[in-house]
Amino acid sequence: MKAPQSSTDHPSTDHPLAQTLQYDIGHGAKSLCIDLSPVQADLLTRYVLLLNKWNKAYNLTAIRDPGAMVFRHIIDSLSIVPHISGQAILDAGSGPGLPGVVLAIVYPDKKFTTLDSNGKKTRFMLQAKLDLQLDNLEVVHARAESFQVEAPFDTITSRAFSSLVNMVDGTKHLLSPSGVYLAMKGLYPEAELKELMDRHDIELVGCEPLKVPGTDGDRHLVILRNRH
C-alpha cells in the first residue's frame, strides 16, 4: 500500500477540524495544569492530523476519530508530564509515538528515543519527526531486547507493553542505575505488581491514579526503579 504523502498533503492548522483539535488539546492540557505554548499546541495538532491520515492506510491505532485521538492519545500522554525526569528518555513499545512524540514536543530540551519493532509504526514516527522538525527525537526500529546503547536512559516510559515483568525484562539493560520506569496502565495492575514484587531487583516507588479528561475508565501510572 502506498504511503501517505508528507505534511503538505494534510489539512493545514487553519482548517476547521484542526482548529477544533487545537482547542481541545489546549483545553485538555490546561485541565492537567499544563500550559502549552502556541508552537507546542500547533505541533500536537499537526501530529494528530498526520496520525489520522496515516491511520487510514496503515491502521496505526484502533481509534479512527481524530477528536477521540486528542483525548485517548494526546491528553492521555500529557498526563505523565509532571513525572518526566532526567535528560535522556526512552519510550519503549512506542507504537505511533505515544507518549514519546508527545513528550518530545512538550520537552524540546530533553532527548527522546522512541522504540518499536513494528516497521510501519517506526516509519510513521520518522515522518512525524521530519514533518514536525523534532530534532530532539530519535526513532529506532528494533525489539527492546536487542537494542543496545552506550549511555543508559534516565527514564523509560511505556504505554503498550503486555505486562510490567515483560517491560522490565526487555529494557532493564537500557535503564541507568538511578533511573525510573514510568509504565502507563489502565486498571490498577494488582496481579502484575505482585508478580514483579516477588523479584529482588526492582522496587515500586508508587502507583498513582491518572485523571485523563475526556476519557472513561481507570488509568494508573506505575513508577518503578532498580533496587539498590
Task: Give exposure, 109-133, as e/b (b: 16+ Cβ within 10 Å).
Answer: ebbbbbbbeeebbbbbbbbbbebbe
Residue 98 inside a domain? The answer is yes
User: What range defines the domain where residue 65 resides?
Assistant: 13-226
Give the CATH number, domain containing residue 79: 3.40.50.150
Mean pLDDT of 94-114: 98
Residue 55 forms part of a structural domain: yes
User: Is 196 within the bounds of a domain?
Assistant: yes
Mean pLDDT of 66-74: 97
**How is 141-154 classified by DSSP, letter by letter?**
ES-GGG---SS-EE
Task: Name the DSSP letter for residue 178.
Answer: E
Within a domain: 7 = no
Asked if residue 8 belongs to a domain, the reply is no
**Half-sphere exposure at residue 181, Cβ-oriented, CA atoms within 13 angstroms:** 32
Q: What would the pLDDT profile of 157-215 be if each residue is shown by its tens digit?
A: 999 788 999 999 999 999 999 999 999 999 999 999 999 988 879 999 999 999 999 88
**Residue ranges in 59-134 assigned as alpha helix (H):** 66-69, 76-78, 100-106, 119-132
Whole-angstrom distance, CA of residue 53 vs CA of residue 196: 39
Q: What is the pTM for the complete model shown?
A: 0.93
